[in-house]
Chains A and B, each alone.
Chain A
Amino acid sequence: MGQPANTLNPTEAWQPLPATEWNEAAARHLLQRIGFSATPTELARVLADGPAKSVERYFARMPALPKPRQIADLETDGPELYRNMAGGSPEARRMAQQAARERSREALFDLTIKWLQLASRPENSPAEKWLLFLSDVWVVGADKVKNSALIYQHQDYIRKFALGTAPNLAKLMSRSPAMIVYLDLQQSKPEAPNENFARELFELFTLGEGHYTENDIKQAARAFTGYRQRQGEFAFVQRQHDNGRKTVFGQSGNFTGDDVINLVFKQKAAGTFLPRQMVSFYLSEAPLPAEQTDALGAWWAGEGYDLRKLAVKFFTSRVFFAPAYRDGYIKSPIQFYLGLVQDLGLSVAPLPRQLIGSLRSMGQMPFDPPNVRGWVGGRSWINSATLSARRQLIQALLSPLNEDALNGDEQIEIAAAYADGISNFTLDQARLAEWAKLPPADRARELVKRYVPDLAGTELERQVSTFLERSAQHSQAAAATRAALATLLESPNYQLC
């Protein structure tokens, strides 16, 4: 589009950033793209460590997400819930179905909050964003899977191989009970292979359109027959598996699903597919020049499709830091929310109703992407409805929590958090009062520098100052400061990173 393209040749593109080009702006870019924001603490550390050491540190291991209590309860009660749904009068079955759905929904909320809490810790953010990226490739949706225990398990499977190899991840994904339900492998059998999984495996998970034929899909679907999930465990049912000869990508044999995945990773497109997805998730809506992704793909295939190595190579490369890709990327709703939490020094509130409602209206309901393609991202995040939702979220995070408006369960959650010493769910009003003591011009400079540093010293900073001056006369300095801060966070610049 209008951005200057990067002009690196394919070899230079993936070389490490020269030390001479490492500075605070580069460190900020790194943090905002691999994580959710550049907090002062992480910025100082990363700046001192340099990109290679920092990225190695962030991708040393995946953080663990302990099984949320409601997910565990759902697993325990699962057999009984299924029994209730299977027997009794139609009315009783309907009630049981509704009860199971409700349980699953609440467990999903519990999972969402626990995951956001984990991801909001700056030291975890890059690994958890990487997990979000891989989940946006290997998509399952809670709405269709209808069992949040499987959704947790699916994320846990990705976590297991997120820093392993792509073929191993792919094989585990084909065995993920959530995936088996989501893409209809559960009913796929020799006399009626269901093509849904095989199609998306090629189109959306590993190769991309144009790199397979309809016949490859039909044949591959036969190889995945007999994949089942039984009460949340993978089961391979031999008598439902088509043992016959299949021809996929020109190769013939009595292929199993794993054989098909091995064949997938013999295709050239398998090397470039994930790097291209990384570019669009992390770097730019416009693809990189094909020679650059081809070079990375060939290198990556030679490294046995090692995901950790790919991440390190990508996030330390010259092309990642190229001027063309600085500051112009639209934050996803999850990044926008977690970035606000980090920038404002907050904790994720254990209030699913408010939090999930806000993420949904901004267009990104965690664990429930619109379809198997995942979230499209980029400009599609921004329209008048989602912008209005972003503004509402900011207003909520800047105002004291209205505990009277919470329902009973929520009050219990908040009380428990207070008992653990966590109460910073919205902006500390004492901090506002401190800011309000500064003269308007200094206050404007401080707010701009902190939240939209690329606007420091501009006409806009002066406008903020004027706005603050006007309210100073009405002894409403704290309220004016809050309004000014809200406006900076609502500004076009804060939507970008």
Chain B
Amino acid sequence: MRGLTKLGVLSLGLAAFLQPACSGDDEQASQGGGDRLVCEGVNTVSAESRLLTRLQYDNTIRDLIGLDLRLAEGAFPLENTAKGFSNNARAHQASPLGVEKYLEAAESISAELSSDQLGALVPCDVASADEACAARFVTDFGKRAFRRPLTEDEAAGLLKVFKDTAPKYGAEEGLRLVFQTFLQSPQFLYRPESISVATSETGAVQLGSYEMAARLSYFLWNSIPDDSLFTAADNDELRTAEQIEHQARRMLEDPRARAVVLDFNRQWLGLDRLTNVVREETPGVDSGMTFDSMQLPSAWTESLERFLGEVVFDGEGSVHDLFTSPVVYVDAELAKLYGVDAPAEGFARVELDAKQRAGLLTQPAMLAMFSHPDQSAPIKRGVFIREQVLCQPIDPPPPSVDQTPPDPDPNLTTRERFAEHTSIPGCHDCHKKIDGIGFGFENYDQLGRFRADEFGIPIDASGEVLEATEERLNGKFDGAVELSNRLADSAQVEDCIATQWYRYATGRVENDADGCSLQQVQDAFQASGGRFKELLVAITLSDAFRYRRPGSQDGAQ
């Protein structure tokens, strides 16, 4: 997206009324090595209504009714993803199966609510609720369910359910059916972007305070606004950057923000791939270790999630820590593999040898995930770093290529076998960008263990970064620790992480119109020294988060 120069020029025609200015300037180069955009005024992007993800649905129910039922996670269809993210506005859509599940869930949740619990949501005795009481329930509960006050028509439609059913089935059942209607209404299931009129001054629509409250709460908590946000919205106090920043910083201290970071990381790193991986000893290798390979995937997942929680939330919370921390969390099973004392129960935080472990890329879970069942996978590791850490996508190999990993051979190291495989003319052009990175991780086997040799042959973990956008990343290195330290202070890596977060926050893969907002976010992230909380705050303050392009509707009222 740094190559926006030409596109910026293209948009100039519209700039007069949509976009004050967003054009590129070839002369300036950012630290990340790309072109900088010259941005003025408010830079708006069209925003699309977004359907709640399963996680958001479950969190929303929890915060709305106080019961943590988590019905959606296992029952609703998986969201369609875009660039690995499940909250993409275009990809994640309703389906006939999903619509059945919304009905089922609304009924189940209603059934889970005891009369007393329902009573807590209703401003009168549920058994003898009259129409006036039901109307207040619609107004009060509705404001939290729809994240804004209901319109008169909306309230009337919901109250009608009570009026139609309470005489037949009793007041309590009438209220329950209103409740079920809320849970299947689009104002609940979606985060709608209303059409509204742009100010003539900026050509942009600034989000109203209720909309901003919901944007903040679904970005930083994956759930509905809390009382404090609602109060701020009631007073229209989510308009200025100061007001928004104040709320964002408050919200980041809440455990719900931790869960969001976890959700992001799962998708950015593709952690679902760890589920049920099978990792075994290489044939012919007797490590003398016994382990239960069925237990490893969940242990690795938890170990990595604990690590990520620590480096993002505790201490400095920076990219530097993410790529340098030697901390690994182990349970009894993992402790055996990594040669540390087993904790009495659960997981223990240990610091491994800093000469062998440096941050995310040397986390056992990551190394195991990017492996084959019985050997390491230097190519998978290289591709992952290129695509997800450096944001430099690699084309897949041509179809005629045999992609079968070569079988382990006691006379050759993994590197020798794979190098043979990829040194073929024609393959080399791409593979030098992949293998130069991936071979640097040969000190780690498919179980994430450090190794100094294979079959008695010393490991060669030398590597070379080629064709990174940021010049200082390029060059030779020896081993993953040295590479990680180089990446830990990289503007390109920070920009890439900021881009991934921006996709998650906006529910979009960035397009031309996002260029200036994304640049705002990347600049702020770099200025903060790569601190994650600052990155998240910067996103809430970006133009793309606070404004939208005015939508159009044929025959709109």
The answer to whether A binds B is: no
What is B's interface to A at a CB cutoff of 8 Å? Answer: none
